[in-house]
Amino acid sequence: MLEPGEQAPEFELPDHDGEPVRLSDFRGDTVVLYFYPKAGTDGCTSEACSFRDNWDAFQEADVQVVGVSTDPVEEIASFREQQGLPFPLLSDEDGEVARRYETFGTPEIDGQRYEIALRSTYVIDEDGVIEATYEDVSPEQHAAEILEGVGTDR
């Protein structure tokens, strides 16, 4: 993973509506940029719903949440709608952004290898600098863990 204190790599990816989103679009805000392996799987659904269920606290802390996976736009759009997610999901189909953030791999799942974004999170400050990193997170508790880290007094 990249380290706190490093400039977060700029990127442009399509969101759930196919519209381009850049990291710089969030300049001036703290951003929770979380990478997840596969929309609709148990762990990824738990993690996304954890962010959704804590959405008011993130808004009160002036923190933006953005999810990134290697799923195509159609899949993230469906996932977002099914789960009622209030934050953008971005499609990194070729894994280029996940690679730049050092959170891409080819794990073996049920005897098959998959090229996917690995579950990890970056908290990026208002100037685009990485504040904190999270690896090997518990999907169910991750949003609360991040809220503790960013505090709610922003």
Walk me through the domains of the chain, giving residue ranges and CATH numbers: 12-150 (3.40.30.10)
Q: Which of 31, 39, 44, 63 is catalytic?
A: 44
Q: Tens digits of per-residue pLDDT, 24-53?
A: 999 999 999 999 999 999 999 999 999 999
**What band does 3 get if pLDDT is binned at 50, 70 and 90?**
very high
pLDDT for position 152: 44
pLDDT for position 112: 83
- Examine the residue annotation and report whether 44 is marked as an active-site residue of this protein: yes
Neighbours of 48 (CB within 10 A): 28
Alpha carbon distance 83, 48 (integer Å): 8
State the average pLDDT for the chain: 94
Please report the beta strands in the chain, taking only residues with DSSP state E, as ranges in sequence order: 12-14, 20-22, 30-35, 63-69, 89-91, 104-105, 108-109, 112-113, 116-117, 120-124, 130-135
Judge residue 113's burial from the number of C-beta atoms within 10 Å of its C-beta, 0-12 exposed, 13-18 middle, 19 or more buried: exposed
In the predicted model, what is the mean pLDDT of residues 61-89?
97
